[in-house]
């Protein structure tokens, strides 16, 4: 009986989440301090294209700035997925084991997708297009992830969130993600149109396909 109570208290503890939220904001603060000008341009991304114009080279994908904020993005989206599942009674938002499973899946998914993209881009001779396109996606998704972080905190520590509000937030994130694709395609339309056939194959195989199978797997799993 005592073991059961202790186990439930461990699962329901929110300390692990508080630590991760603090680490996330500390990472943002350190990154802002180390890359002050670049972060200032990044913060204006929603209404200015200066950042995407200055840092459009694919080499910036492996920079300390991008990697640090990508780490925050992973934490933020993992929390958002966990909270969404919890809101629809598929998980508990205080279950740190589930959080680890989600963030581990996201890491493997992103890395595997990245490696496959590199191989296909090399095979189709569209490395320049894919690298710049990937950088744009990472930049915009990182922006969305950081923007979501305060919402994650409110949703995590508040148990009285209306379902309609949660659905609206999920739809907003999905729409924002789709818009990042459209903006990225618009920004590199000249390069993309010159290799349109290969780019369409790339989109179907590595952008649309994986998410469709994730959706199919998830819906089958909860049916």
69 Cβ partners below 8 Å, 6+ apart? Answer: 27, 28, 31, 42, 142, 145, 146
Tell me the range of 59-68, 97-106, 123-132, 178-187 where mean pLDDT is highest: 97-106
Asked if residues 177 and 141 have their Cβ atoms less than 8 Å apart, the reply is: yes
Residue 4 has pLDDT above 60, yes or no: no
- Measured distance CA(149)–CA(69) in Å, rounded: 12
pLDDT reading at 1 higher than 80: no
Secondary structure class of 117 (helix, strand, coil)? helix
Summarize pLDDT for 93-103 with one digit per residue, the tens: 888 899 999 99
| Among 10-14, 30-34, 38-42, 175-179, the least confident range | 10-14
124-167, pLDDT tens digit by residue? 777 777 777 778 888 888 999 999 999 999 999 988 888 888 88
Mean pLDDT across the chain: 80
Q: Would the pLDDT of 28 be above 90?
A: yes
Parent domain of 65: 2-222
Q: Give the HSE-up count for residue 68: Cα atoms under 13 Å, Cβ half-sphere.
A: 16
Lowest mean pLDDT among 7-11, 26-30, 127-131, 163-167: 7-11
Where residue 158 falls (left for φ over 0; alpha for ψ -120 to 50; beta otherwise) is beta
Region 117-130 average pLDDT: 74
Mean pLDDT, rounded, for 163-176: 88
The number of distinct structural domains making up the chain is 1
Q: Positive or negative CA dihedral for 192, 194, 195, 200?
A: positive
**Residue 87 in contact with residue 166, Cβ under 8 Å?**
yes
* CA distance linking residue 45 with residue 137, whole number of Å: 13
* CB 140 within 8 Å of CB 181: no
Kindly report the three-state secondary structure assignment for every residue of 123-186. HHCCHHHHHHHHHHHHHHHHHHHHHHHHHHHHHHHCCCCCHHHHHHHHHHHHHHHHHHHHHHHH
């Amino acid at each position: 009986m005592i073991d059961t109570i202790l186990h439930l208290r461990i699962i329901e503890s929110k300390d692990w989440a508080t630590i991760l939220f603090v680490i996330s904001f500390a990472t943002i603060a350190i990154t802002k301090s180390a890359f002050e000008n670049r972060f200032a341009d990044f913060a204006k991304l929603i209404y200015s294209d200066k950042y995407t114009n200055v840092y459009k080279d694919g080499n910036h994908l492996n920079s300390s700035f991008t990697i640090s904020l990508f780490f925050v993005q992973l934490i933020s989206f993992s929390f958002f997925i966990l909270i969404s599942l919890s809101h629809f009674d598929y998980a508990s938002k205080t279950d740190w084991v589930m959080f680890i499973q989600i963030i581990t899946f996201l890491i493997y998914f992103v890395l595997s997708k990245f490696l496959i993209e590199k191989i296909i881009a090399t095979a189709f001779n569209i490395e320049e297009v894919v690298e710049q396109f990937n950088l744009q996606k990472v930049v915009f998704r990182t922006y969305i992830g950081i923007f979501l972080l305060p919402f994650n905190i409110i949703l995590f520590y508040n148990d009285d969130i209306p379902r309609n509000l949660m659905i609206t937030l999920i739809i907003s994130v999905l729409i924002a993600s789709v818009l990042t694709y459209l903006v990225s395609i618009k920004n590199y339309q000249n390069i993309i149109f010159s290799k349109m056939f290969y780019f369409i194959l790339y989109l179907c195989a590595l952008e649309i396909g994986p998410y469709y199978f994730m959706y199919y797997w998830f819906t089958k799993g909860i049916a």
